[in-house]
Structure formats: C-alpha cells, structure tokens
C-alpha cells in the first residue's frame, strides 16, 4: 500500500512537471499537498511565515525559514536540497509565492501551496 502511494505521488509530480511551463513556479492545492504527504512524509516542506506565526501552529515536519529575513536566500541555500522539489506555504499564499520565485532563480523546483496555512487548518479541523 505504501509503495502504491509513493508511486502515485511520483506519477503526480511527473505529470505536474510535464504539464506546467518550464522554469516556472508551480501552484498546488492543499488537497494536492495532503496527497503528496500521504505518499511521502519526507518531502521538503518549507514554512516561510514569521516565527510568531509558526508558534501558533505549523504543518508537521516543515522547515521554518522566514521569507522576510534579509538572509532568506542564503539560509534556504544552506538548508534545502536543489535535487528535490520544495513545497512552500505561508499564511495565505502571498509570501510563499514570493519565496517560490526567489528559490526558482536559485535553481530549485518550487511548488507554491495555494491557500496557505489558513486553508490547511480549515481542511484539517478535527471533527
């Protein structure tokens, strides 16, 4: 079962790569991210919100790098692997798009998570 999910996640990523413009930030939904995380919890998931925002909650295993810091680019280059996709989120989607553009210019493959943490919380409420 786990291998099937991993395979499906891989196919999803390949399809997303083939259908999108080359050298462009790719947008994904919260549903897409949930699907990817079910297939592989060890993805590069980047939370670009402020430390104060992150203290209120974050997605499990996310790497926290505040995009508003002057050294965002150098920290990202130090902590992230260019050979793997990077999935970015912020509070609602604006800052993660900016961070995605920065990482794209540095040779990363960024996926901007639309809706951000606000939508993540909404879709993952305990019922």
CATH class assigned to 2-123: alpha beta
Catalytic residue ranges: 90
**pLDDT 10s digits, 71-80:** 999 999 999 9
Beta bridge partners of 27: 112
- Reported as a pLDDT band with limits 50, 70 and 90, residue 118 is very high
**pLDDT 10s digits, 28-63:** 999 999 999 999 989 999 999 999 999 999 999 999
**pLDDT 10s digits, 93-116:** 999 999 999 999 999 999 999 999
Beta bridge partners of 87: 45, 111
Beta bridge partners of 88: 46, 112
Cα–Cα distance measured from residue 72 to residue 107, given in angstroms and rounded to the nearest whole number: 15
Domain locations along the chain: 2-123
DSSP helix/strand/coil, 20: coil
Beta bridge partners of 113: 28
Q: What are phi and psi of 89, to 5 degrees?
A: -145, 160
Cα–Cα distance measured from residue 126 to residue 4, given in angstroms and rounded to the nearest whole number: 27
Tokens of 109: 């493959």
The whole-model pTM stands at 0.81
Q: What are phi and psi of 104, to 5 degrees?
A: -60, -45
Contact 110, 86 (CB under 8 A): yes
């Amino acid at each position: 079962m786990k291998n099937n999910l991993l395979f499906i996640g891989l196919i999803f990523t390949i399809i997303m790569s083939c259908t999108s413009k080359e050298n462009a930030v790719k947008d994904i939904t919260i549903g897409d991210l949930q699907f990817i995380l079910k297939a592989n919890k060890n993805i590069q998931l980047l939370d670009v919100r402020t430390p104060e925002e992150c203290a209120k909650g974050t997605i499990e295993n996310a790497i926290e790098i505040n995009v508003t810091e002057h050294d965002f680019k150098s920290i990202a280059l130090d902590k992230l692997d260019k050979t793997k996709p990077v999935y970015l989120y912020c509070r609602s989607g604006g800052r993660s798009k900016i961070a995605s553009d920065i990482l794209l210019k540095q040779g990363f493959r960024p996926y901007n998570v639309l809706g951000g943490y606000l939508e993540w919380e909404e879709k993952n409420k305990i019922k």
